């Protein structure tokens, strides 16, 4: 199994679920993580990543870490200073239409969104609300482009788009697609030479459907135009994703593997969870399993069954531990607090 990994955690793209998979694998295999200084949760995002943002990194003794997976704005020369040269680089993308709808609810306090009531209102005159110079502008335009390190307000010429796509292809071994999450996990398992249980997951940081609303076609068209760079990234890598599957796995085997993955997840859900799945934040009984609530979204979580034996309880708990809690736990393990 491959143990040196860089995951670019793109916002609002099922990336918290992927992070949980990496946390569990790293913990099981005693791997080291490139944590933000002081045990924070983001690597000084939205600044471009620098090696000095990582706890335990020093240019004098270049220590390498196995897994880099916290939110960052990608800058490969700096990333290469903290992970081994053999590391596998991957990320996950989401359809920019759903991505922006999710961002709008989640980052309602962002300057571009704070004065509008709906995404339609914002898209009717985006420049009335959007300031290209504000520090949180990226939540409102071409968020994936920004996370990959590029300018979200850059011009959309065919040449520039090609350069951007080529740069991403040169840096990343694979880009997964969140709409095909199970297929993505099968492909990831294949590339990393992991077993099925390593890529099993329950959806984390997902929001209650009561805050989701379908967008009219007129808005969808405006949204694609406004996020044109993201749209170019998404359509290109959605195509190469399926080409990769055809080439390396084949549709028939993919179908069988996805079925096996879903069956295993259903089995774990029956074993671990009370009820049929995720519950509203106020219904989560164990406060240590309650995810951070953000913006106008209601982030769902889980209740574990009572009376599980110790080993099973641990497995189940890890599957449903929200990102911030899990990150803190692993940070304390890797950098134990010094006794006074």
Contact 36, 109 (CB under 8 A): no
Q: How many domains does the chain have?
A: 1
The pLDDT of residue 339 is 86
Token duo for residue 143: 């968020």
Q: Is residue 111 part of a domain?
A: yes
- Does a structural domain hold residue 340? no
Nearest Cα residue to 273 out of 337, 225, 201, 165: 201
Q: Which domain holds residue 118?
A: 5-333
Confidence (pLDDT) at 84? 97
In the predicted model, residues of the chain with pLDDT beneath 70 are: 211
pTM of the model: 0.96
Instruction: Supply the DSSP symbol for 209.
Output: G
Q: What is the DSSP annotation of 20-49?
A: HHHHHHHHHTT--B-PBGGG-SBSSTTSBP
Q: Is 325 exposed, middle or buried (0-12, 13-18, 19+ CB in 10 A)?
A: middle
Per-residue confidence (pLDDT) for residue 206, from 0 to 100:
83
Residue 257 pLDDT: 98
Is 289 a domain residue? yes
pLDDT for the residue 328 = 96
Is residue 339 one of the residues assigned to a domain? no
**pLDDT for 143:** 97
Q: Residue 63 domain-assigned?
A: yes
Distance CA 171, CA 164 (A): 11
CA distances from 328 to 79, 142, 188 (A): 22, 30, 25
Q: Please report, for the domain that includes residue 193, its CATH number.
A: 3.40.50.300
146-166 tens-digit pLDDT: 999 999 999 999 999 999 999
Per-residue confidence (pLDDT) for residue 315, from 0 to 100: 96
| Assigned domain for 21 exists | yes
pLDDT tens profile 90-113 = 999 999 999 999 999 999 999 999
pLDDT of residue 217: 93
Q: Is residue 338 part of a domain?
A: no
- Half-sphere exposure (CA, 13 Å, Cβ side) for 73? 14
């Amino acid at each position: 199994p491959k143990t040196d990994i860089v995951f670019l955690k793109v916002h609002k793209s099922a990336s918290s679920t992927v992070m949980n998979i990496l946390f569990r694998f790293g913990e099981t295999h005693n791997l080291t993580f490139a944590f933000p200084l002081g045990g924070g949760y983001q690597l000084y995002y939205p600044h471009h990543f620098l090696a000095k943002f990582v706890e335990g990194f020093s240019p004098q003794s270049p220590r390498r870490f196995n897994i880099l997976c916290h939110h960052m704005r990608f800058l490969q020369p700096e990333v290469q200073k903290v992970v081994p040269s053999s590391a596998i680089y991957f990320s996950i993308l989401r359809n920019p239409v759903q991505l922006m709808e999710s961002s709008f609810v989640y980052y309602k306090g962002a300057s571009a969104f704070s004065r509008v009531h709906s995404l339609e209102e914002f898209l009717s005159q985006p420049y009335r609300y959007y300031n290209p110079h504000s520090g949180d502008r990226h939540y409102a335009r071409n968020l994936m482009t920004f996370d990959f390190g590029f300018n979200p307000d850059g011009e959309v010429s065919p040449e520039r788009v090609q350069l951007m796509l080529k740069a991403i292809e040169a840096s990343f071994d694979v880009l997964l697609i969140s709409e095909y999450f199970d297929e993505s996990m099968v492909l990831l398992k294949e590339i990393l030479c992991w077993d099925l249980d390593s890529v099993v997951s329950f959806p984390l940081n997902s929001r209650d459907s009561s805050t989701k609303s379908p967008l009219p076609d007129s808005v969808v068209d405006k949204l694609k135009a406004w996020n044109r760079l993201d749209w170019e990234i998404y359509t290109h890598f959605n195509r190469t994703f399926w080409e990769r599957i055809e080439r390396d796995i084949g549709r028939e085997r993919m179908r069988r593997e996805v079925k096996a993955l879903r069956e295993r997840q259903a089995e774990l859900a029956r074993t671990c969870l009370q009820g049929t799945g995720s519950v509203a934040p106020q219904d989560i009984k164990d406060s240590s399993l309650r995810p951070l609530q953000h913006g106008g979204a209601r982030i769902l979580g889980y209740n574990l069954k009572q009376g599980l034996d110790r080993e099973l309880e641990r497995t189940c708990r890890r599957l449903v531990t929200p990102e911030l809690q899990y990150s803190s736990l692993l940070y304390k393990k890797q950098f134990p607090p010094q006794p006074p």
